[in-house]
């Protein structure tokens, strides 16, 4: 038996070396993703380039919330505060109070206030201009369906707003347009939740995490990139080449806004709906847009195509929903000529938020 110890030991060492080499790409990939998604690194980089961007904002942690998917856990700090009841952001340093705050804002991370202080969000600027108490129900990554669900939950408490503002666009386009999202509607964390919560066999979850996520994933990504190099048909988003899916997404988005409008009217509230401006609508010159450091041709194709399709759908339905159509404002051109206010292709600086809130104020003051 002793004479076999050395070969067995050598075999074990070789197996360990091979295993280490095989899993190292997966571990490196995870490390790179952590670094790339490090909020502190992102904030410090953005704060150096764009005025008003907060460099010391605390990171947010999220957990599951029924009917809307996720909300952040409560936070208290000098620049960002999340109240513990509604799990929504403060407006001008005041927590949500739906009894007194009668202007309710809904949307994704731009309404929430990506990388800006509590007092520099669109709802906060609107309150400063109008004097009307405003509530910020925007949440990172939310689509119009999630905002609609939140609105339903809020009015079920018999507290009704005087006015509501839905500010949507990018999340209603980019998340469901992902190639792997074949079901409409799909929100931004559909794939993640299916993987983490859609299976009930713990052994299978462990296997999939260890074998598929750590071991196979980097090789699959390499294969996809290599396939992309060999075959230009491989794309991460497919709405611009899948007209049936694109129309289904637009129809769902339109119905979400229409339902919110009907609900608002039923409780005596005024409602407006704003098509979110993006970097791709700040200039009529594609050559000028391409020079912006945050330009993405993939994103531009999805957003431009679906925005045009959405506008067409709205105009087609105006003959039977004229009152609703009057509440829709195509704000995609509101920042025309102001590409400098974009932190990325849709988040904006405090200057951009101020410009948007002024537009909203002028509409609601008519």
Note the pLDDT tens digit of each residue in 60-85: 999 989 999 999 999 999 999 999 99
The tens digit of pLDDT for each residue in 215-252 reads 666 666 666 555 555 555 557 899 999 999 999 999 99
Judged against a pLDDT cut of 90, whether residue 195 lies above it is answered with: no
Residues 6+ apart with CB under 8 A from 70: 62, 63, 64, 139, 141, 189
Judged against a pLDDT cut of 70, whether residue 180 lies above it is answered with: yes
Residues 6+ apart with CB under 8 A from 88: 71, 82, 96, 135, 136, 137, 138, 139
Phi, psi of 22, rounded to the nearest 5 degrees: -70, -40
Give the three-state DSSP class for 74.
Answer: coil
Phi, psi of 168, rounded to the nearest 5 degrees: -135, 165
Whether 289 and 283 have beta carbons less than 8 Å apart is answered as yes
Give CA angle at 281 (276, 286), nearest 5°.
155
CATH topology of domain 54-179+237-364: Rossmann fold (3.40.50)
Judged against a pLDDT cut of 60, whether residue 302 lies above it is answered with: yes
- Which range has the top average pLDDT, 9-13, 92-96, 217-221, 258-262? 258-262
DSSP H helical segments within the chain, as ranges?
2-36, 39-49, 109-112, 122-130, 144-155, 170-174, 190-197, 202-207, 217-230, 243-266, 286-290, 297-317, 322-326, 350-364
Give the three-state DSSP class for 360.
Answer: helix
Q: Where are the domains of the chain?
A: 2-37, 54-179+237-364, 190-230
The tens digit of pLDDT for each residue in 6-59 reads 677 777 777 777 767 766 766 675 565 444 444 444 454 555 677 788 878 888
Whether 110 and 347 have beta carbons less than 8 Å apart is answered as yes
Per-residue confidence band for 179, with pLDDT thresholds at 50, 70 and 90:
confident
Q: Tell how strand 69-72 and strand 134-136 pair up.
A: unpaired
Predicted pLDDT at 122: 98
Predicted pLDDT at 37: 45
> Is 37 or 121 the better-scoring residue by pLDDT?
121
Phi, psi of 44, rounded to the nearest 5 degrees: -65, -35
Predicted pLDDT at 200: 46
Judged against a pLDDT cut of 80, whether residue 189 lies above it is answered with: no
Phi, psi of 205, rounded to the nearest 5 degrees: -60, -45
Judged against a pLDDT cut of 80, whether residue 283 lies above it is answered with: no
DSSP secondary structure string for all residues of 1-67 = -HHHHHHHHHHHHHHHHHHHHHHHHHHHHHHHHHHHT-HHHHHHHHHHHSTT--SSPPPP-EEEETT
Angle between helices 350-364 and 122-130 (to 10 degrees): 50
* Token couple for 64: 């599951």
Q: Tell me what percent of the residues of the chain surpass a pLDDT of 70.
A: 76
Predicted pLDDT at 268: 96
Residues 6+ apart with CB under 8 A from 202: none
Whole-number average pLDDT of the chain: 83
For residue 294, how far is the Cα from the chain centroid? 16
Give the three-state DSSP class for 333.
Answer: helix
Predicted pLDDT at 205: 46
Whether 261 and 273 have beta carbons less than 8 Å apart is answered as yes
Predicted pLDDT at 251: 97
Judged against a pLDDT cut of 50, whether residue 1 lies above it is answered with: yes
Per-residue confidence band for 214, with pLDDT thresholds at 50, 70 and 90:
low
- The order of strands in the sheet holding 328-329 is 134-136, 103-107, 163-168, 270-275, 328-329
């Amino acid at each position: 038996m002793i004479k076999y110890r050395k070969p067995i030991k050598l075999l074990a060492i070789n197996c360990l070396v091979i295993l280490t080499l095989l899993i190292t790409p997966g571990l490196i990939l995870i490390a790179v993703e952590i670094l790339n998604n490090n909020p502190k690194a992102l904030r410090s980089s953005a704060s150096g380039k764009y005025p008003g961007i907060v460099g010391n904002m605390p990171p947010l942690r999220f957990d599951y919330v029924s009917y809307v998917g996720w909300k952040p856990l409560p936070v208290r700090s000098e620049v960002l505060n999340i109240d513990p009841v509604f799990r929504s952001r403060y407006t001008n340093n005041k927590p949500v109070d739906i009894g007194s705050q009668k202007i309710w804002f809904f949307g994704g991370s731009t309404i929430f206030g990506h990388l800006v202080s509590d007092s520099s969000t669109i709802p906060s600027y609107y309150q400063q201009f109008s004097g009307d108490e405003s509530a910020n129900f925007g949440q990172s990554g939310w689509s119009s369906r999630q905002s609609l669900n939140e609105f339903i939950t809020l009015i079920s408490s018999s507290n009704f707003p005087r006015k509501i503002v839905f500010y949507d666009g990018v999340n209603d386009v980019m998340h469901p347009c992902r190639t792997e999202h074949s079901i409409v509607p799909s929100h931004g964390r559909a794939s993640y939740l299916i993987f983490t919560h859609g299976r009930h066999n713990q052994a299978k979850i462990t296997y999939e995490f260890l074998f598929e996520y750590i071991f196979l994933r980097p090789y699959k990504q390499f294969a996809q990139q290599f396939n992309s190099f060999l075959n230009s048909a491989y794309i991460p988003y497919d709405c611009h080449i899948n007209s049936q899916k694109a129309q289904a997404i637009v129809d769902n988005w339109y119905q979400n806004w229409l339902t919110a409008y009907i609900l608002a009217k039923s409780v005596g509230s005024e409602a407006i709906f704003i098509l979110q401006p993006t970097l791709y609508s700040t200039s009529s010159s594609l050559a000028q847009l391409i020079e912006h450091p945050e330009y993405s041709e993939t994103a531009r194709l999805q957003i431009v195509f679906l925005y045009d399709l959405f506008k067409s759908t709205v105009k087609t339905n105006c003959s039977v929903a004229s009152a609703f159509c009057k509440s829709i404002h195509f704000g995609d051109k509101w920042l025309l000529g102001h590409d400098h206010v974009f932190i990325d292709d849709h988040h904006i600086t405090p200057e951009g938020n101020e410009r948007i809130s002024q537009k909203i104020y002028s509409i609601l003051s008519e």
